[in-house]
Amino acid sequence: MTTVRKTKFMVTYGPSCKEFRILRRLIELGADVFRFNGAHVKKANYGEIEKAIEFIRKTAAELGRVVAIFFDLGGVKFRLGSIGLDGKGKIELVEGQEVWIRAIEFSDDPSVLPFPDAEVLGALVPGNFVYIADGTVRLEVQTNDERGAWARVQIGGEVSSHKGVNLPGVTINRPVLTNDDMDMVAFGERLRVEWFGISYVYDGPSTKVASDYIRKTRAKVMAKLERPEACGGSNLDDILEEVDAVMVARGDLGVEGPREDVPDAQEDILKRSRKKTKLGMVGTQVLLSLKDEEQPSRGEVSGMVHDIRIDLAGSLLFSDEIAIGDHPELVVQEADVIARKAESRIAYYLEDLPANNKTETTAKSACMQARDYPNAVIIAITSTGRTAIAVAKFLPEARILAYAHDPYTLAQLAMVGGVEPVGVLPVADFNNLVASAIRESINNGSLNPDVVEHVILVLGYVPGVTDSTNATLHLDREDYLRLVATYQSQEEAICVS
């Protein structure tokens, strides 16, 4: 059978891919989700963002693809202010240099770093480390008084406006959603954004407050795990209960805690999220060298293969290499080749995973049936997306074609590893829905009768009712072609009469 990449790619909108021709090319090459970073989505550029999203959706429809939009809420992420009067300045920090960190919005003085959060700045004490830009630059606080924090550069590098700041050991537990986040949620609701990411979660109760607020929009919610306290024990279990997906945000996680702990944390997070039927994504520096180079490093290739083949990440986030890289299209091309190779040797069919409810028991049954037939396809018909997600949990090698009853739910499934969101079907009785799904799959090219010997459908016996998935229907080629022909004849007879 022709292989379809199972791993989903989230690409980050930014200066390098603002041109519509590049956005179109990213869709053609296989980008599944477009991420808009809350740090750069401001009311002043809402018009630009809205036009970009409109173009992405229109182009995807023209190309016969389904993509999702992801708004990455900034949360209580600490950031530098603007550097230079126009915000486009840069400061090159050198090891041993001493600089001020002051509670101001912008600075054009190379010896002063702007940090607008006075409360957080006041909490710094001598000996605290200040990491900038995913930890690539490190300062140590020497003194702190009413003038600001005086710090010495330990690891130098270039810093620019609004780069992220990490403060390990400085605990300030604020609400997960900021006022800016809530503005962005309102903007996203107007645009019918399918997914929101919440940042810097640290426990279940605070995550629930944020998730409940977002879910009023019908969107799905991803928790970004950037703080060590969110990644283990009961905290992780509590967070997983409140969201639809988690991201292992390796950049911040490797700064907030020991970087050597990140691989074990990633493995544990992805394993526990799959067990609880939550999507698992890996982000940060997946193929970062492609930001400047034309080939990924060998280490990056090995790491990406490990993410997919061993840790079973369903999706990957590409950020700087797409948003501000020299060749964003090349990133998707290279990643596609690597992902397909990694997927060719995955140990599929996770039969030891528990089924947590009726939907998952039905989904697991479909996967185990497909395992015995190398040329089988699974078709999941869903009202909320949960049926398709449940099938994907058990990692079948068979393709999973997903149909929803509305375009919004279908687009949400673009995030789900292993799931191909292919179409929208109106709610109908069981037999009509089955026949329509098979016929539509043949017509849109997702199901080739010359290749596919078995079709296994997963749906509810009472279609359109949430949480009613309770049926699998296994049809061989003769059965499913006969079914389609029968319903085609019935429709023609109705039209004639």
For residues 257 and 384, membership in a common domain is answered with no
Together in a domain, 246 and 179: yes
Conformation bin of residue 419: beta by default, left when phi > 0, alpha when psi is -120 to 50? beta
Per-residue pLDDT, 464: 73
At 456-496, the pLDDT tens digits run 999 988 877 777 788 999 999 999 999 999 888 776 666 65
Expressed as residue numbers, the domain containing 492 is 358-496
Terminus-to-terminus CA distance in the chain, angstroms?
Answer: 41
In order, the DSSP letters of 245-302 are EEEEEHHHHHHHS-GGGHHHHHHHHHHHHHHTT-EEEEESSSSGGGGT-SS--HHHHH
Please state, in angstroms and rounded to a whole number, the distance separating the CA atoms of residues 264 and 266: 5
Residue 26 located in a structural domain: yes
Does residue 349 lie within any of the structural domains?
A: no
DSSP 17: G
The tokens for 259 are 């970087």
CA distances in angstroms from 432 to 61, 305, 452, 461, 487, listed in the order given? 25, 42, 21, 12, 8
Which of these three, 320, 343, 366, is where a domain ends?
A: 343
- What pLDDT sits at residue 442? 96
Contact 276, 240 (CB under 8 A): yes
| 351 is a domain residue | no
Tell me what pLDDT residue 2 has.
46
Q: Verify that 218 and 191 share a domain, yes or no.
A: yes
Which uninterrupted H or E stretch holds 340? helix 328-343
For 402-440, the pLDDT digits (tens) are: 999 999 999 999 999 999 999 999 988 898 999 999 999
pTM: 0.90
Q: Quick one: residue 127, left, alpha or beta (phi over 0 = left, psi -120 to 50 = alpha)?
A: left
Residue recorded with tokens 């605990």: 171
CATH number assigned to the domain comprising residue 473: 3.40.1380.20
Same domain, residue pair 224 and 140: no
pLDDT recorded at residue 170: 83
CATH number at residue 334: 3.20.20.60
Asked if residue 424 is part of any domain, the answer here is: yes
Instruction: Please provide the average confidence, as pLDDT, over all residues in the chain.
Output: 94
226 and 315 together in one domain: yes
pLDDT score of 172:
75
Asked, for residue 130, whether it belongs to a domain, the answer is yes
pLDDT of residue 1: 44
- The whole-angstrom separation of Cα 214 and Cα 219 is 7
Q: Collect the ranges in the chain with pLDDT lower than 70.
A: 1-2, 491-497
Separation CA 359–CA 445 (nearest Å): 28
The total number of structural domains in the chain stands at: 3
From 309, 343, 377, the end of a domain falls on 343
How far from the centroid of its chain's Cα atoms is residue 81's Cα?
Answer: 27
Evaluate whether residue 373 is within a structural domain: yes
**196 and 72 in a common domain:** yes
Per-residue model confidence (pLDDT) at position 497: 55
3-state helix, strand, coil in the chain (%, to 5): 40, 25, 35
**Structure confidence at residue 168 (pLDDT):** 87
The answer to whether residues 316 and 397 belong to one domain is: no
- Point out the domain boundary residue: 316, 343, 370: 343
Residue 171 is encoded by which pair of tokens?
């605990």
Residues 380 and 416 in one domain: yes
DSSP element (H, E) containing 484: helix 477-496
Query: pLDDT tens for residues 303-318?
Result: 999 999 999 999 999 9
Same domain, 282 and 186: yes
Domain with residue 101: its CATH number is 2.40.33.10
As a whole-number percent, the residues of the chain with pLDDT over 70 amount to 98
The string over 397-428, giving b where at least 16 C-beta atoms fall within 10 Å of a residue's C-beta and e elsewhere, is bbbbbbbbbebbbbbbbbbbbbbbbbbbbeee
Selection from 444, 418, 421, 415 nearest residue 32 by Cα: 415
Per the domain annotation, does 350 fall within a domain?
A: no
Does 2 map to a domain?
Answer: no
Same-domain check for residues 326 and 370: no
Do 327 and 181 lie in one domain? The reply is: yes
Distance CA 397, CA 99 (A): 55
Q: How far apart are CA 340 and CA 231, in angstroms?
A: 29
196 and 162 both lie in a single domain: no
